[in-house]
Amino acid sequence: MKRIKLWAKKLKQYLFILYFAYKDGRVPLYAKLFTAGVVAYAFSPIDLIPDFIPIIGYLDDLVFVPLGIILALKMIPQAVLADCEKKANEMMKNGKPKNWVVGTIILALWALFALWFSVTVYKLVK
């Protein structure tokens, strides 16, 4: 169990490293795009395979995200990774910053989607 927790903590650290690498100007555009996709997917509440599906529901969390992290890390220059690792370690010690504006936007988008879905279902039932 301790080994799994260590693995999960390391994955989280790699995601923060990738987050900082995405913002670094020394990273090639193709690597930035791929890295942004991996980080966004990992932090997104929406999964490719929903978690409620037995067994394969966690496949993306256990296979796709780590595979994406590995590929993204290979695309980024080592000097950038070293700098970003320092930043990630510092952020993990101090706690990650909260972006209330982005959180509010995401909640508003979900609320609009729920409203649209409710209206659509209501029209179909009516």
Q: What is the mean pLDDT of the chain?
A: 85
Residues 13-21 have a mean pLDDT of 93
Looking at residue 99, what is its pLDDT?
A: 66
- Mean pLDDT across 40-61: 75
> For 56-109, how does the pLDDT look when each residue is reduced to its tens digit (9 = 90+)?
777 777 888 899 999 999 999 999 999 999 999 888 887 665 667 767 877 888
- Range 65-99 burial, b when 16+ CB lie within 10 A, else e: bbebbeebbebbeeebbebbbebbeebeeeeeeee
Given this model, what pLDDT does residue 64 score?
A: 84
Q: What is the pLDDT of residue 93?
A: 82
Looking at per-residue pLDDT, the higher value among 4 and 27 belongs to 27
For 72, the token pair is 């993204």
The model carries a pTM of 0.68
pLDDT greater than 80 at residue 30 = yes
